[in-house]
Amino acid sequence: MQLRELTSILRESAGEEEGVDLDGDILDTPFEELGYDSLALFNTVGRIEREMGIALPDDVVAEATTPRFLLDRVNTALDVTKSA
């Protein structure tokens, strides 16, 4: 999964905060600064799991503080699924 796909899902699942540019360099920007709380991340993670056919650890929502972290977890799960 690429950042572009993640930002698309974020927009569709939880909207976009006014004044936040999700198309910029946001990989290491905390989700909180991007306007996304734990409920928004919960919805986003659920959608990613359904669409990608993966299961992420239950604690990923609490641990995922940045897009880079979430993408790393998603891509690791995708790699495991592909090699299984």
Q: What is the pLDDT of residues 10-19, one digit of tens each?
A: 999 888 888 8
Q: What domains can you pick out in the chain, each with its CATH number?
A: 3-15+27-79 (1.10.1200.10)
Which residues contact residue 45 at a Cβ distance below 8 angstroms, ignoring those fewer than 6 apart? 56, 60, 61, 64, 70
Number of Cα atoms under 13 Å in the Cβ half of residue 78: 13
Buried b / exposed e over 43-76, threshold 16 CB at 10 Å, is: bbbeebeeebebebeeebbeebebbebbbebbee
- pTM of the predicted structure, to 2 decimals: 0.90
The predicted structure's pLDDT at residue 17: 83
The pLDDT tens digits for 48-79 are 999 999 999 989 999 999 999 999 999 999 98
pLDDT band at 43 (very low <50, low <70, confident <90, very high): very high
The predicted structure's pLDDT at residue 84: 65
C-alpha distances in Å from residue 70, one per residue of 4, 18, 32: 13, 22, 14
